[in-house]
Amino acid sequence: MSVTPASVRAAAERIKGLIARTPMLRNAALDRAVGAAVLVKPEMLQRTGSFKLRGATNALLSLAPDVRVAGVVAYSSGNHGQAVACAASALGVPATIVMPADAPAIKRDSTAFWGAEVVLYDRESGNREAIAAEIVARTGASLIPPYDHVDVMAGQGTLALELAEDAAGEGLTMDAFLSPAGGGGLMAGCALALSEASPGTKCFTAEPEDWDDTARSLALGERVRNDMRGSKFCDALLTPTPGKQTFPINQRLVTAGFVASDDEVRAAMRFAARNLKLVVEPGGAVALAALLSGKAKFPGQVVGVVLSGGNAEV
């Protein structure tokens, strides 16, 4: 089974009413700062504070009711875990979330808030996939991974579908679309959606410095790994390598990847708070950081940028 633009359209219908259709925002200070018409997609306005609720909701709704009743398991540094917990709560499904012990307290607490069982592990020595697999084998629950899953990717792609529709409603067509990347599921779904909804839009990823596996993989034409020793500041994006399912899609549809330093991300977070009046978490601000730093340049063009989450301690 593969994910297609039709999968994204079907996901949009399936999750309607269960997720927020986040607005397309414009800001004159941002346009002036980067010399482009910037269309901001603020996914911190989702119920769980990130875009992840889209994919999690679509994945759970795609399970047959008799399968769903056995529960779901997810592994996550926080945002995907919260999303699965929230979607499971809405559907009355038991959920177990495997999370690194060093995940921000706001993400651990928010996951538990939705009624999920939280299982902590050591990010340096533990294996989250193995822990989740053991729980699945023991309970019969279904695994909902954070990005390498067709229904998750399709759900995430609804974000770009909305942005393309809202841009068209303002008489605009995006020349470029820029999104944070961890495992690549968000971009894979969005790139597929845009390949049909806005085929002239070029897609670009943004990643934290030293966690640029997607950018390097795109440049080299094969999946490469991070050494896992970089800064943990952008905790939502700390994946070892692009996904097995996400990378072939992104390799085909994404033009290139950008990288932002921690200082550039901090500056983007401050800019968003001051000018957009939005709280953006570090990983969620990476695409905006690439724009504001001048690393991603689109002079005079229309560019969509995703602020993917807002689960930051303030």
One-letter-per-residue 3-state SS of the chain: CCCCHHHHHHHHHHHECCECCCCCECCHHHHHHHCCEEEEEEHHHCCCCECHHHHHHHHHHHCCHHHHCCCEEEECCCHHHHHHHHHHHHHCCCEEEEEECCCCHHHHHHHHHCCCEEEEECCCCCCHHHHHHHHHHHHCCEECCCCCCHHHHHHHHHHHHHHHHHHHHCCCCCCEEEEECCCCHHHHHHHHHHHHHCCCCEEEEEEECCCCHHHHHHHHCCCCCCCCCCCCCCHHHCCCCCCCCHHHHHHHHEEEEEEECHHHHHHHHHHHHHHHCCCCCCHHHHHHHHHHCCCCCCCCCEEEEEECECCCCC
User: Among 142, 179, 293, 308, which one carries the catalytic annotation?
Assistant: 308
Residue among 79, 73, 88 nearest 119 (CA): 73
Active site residue 297: no
Active site residue 308: yes
User: Among 52, 62, 195, 293, which one carries the catalytic annotation?
Assistant: 52
> Which residues are known catalytic residues?
52, 308
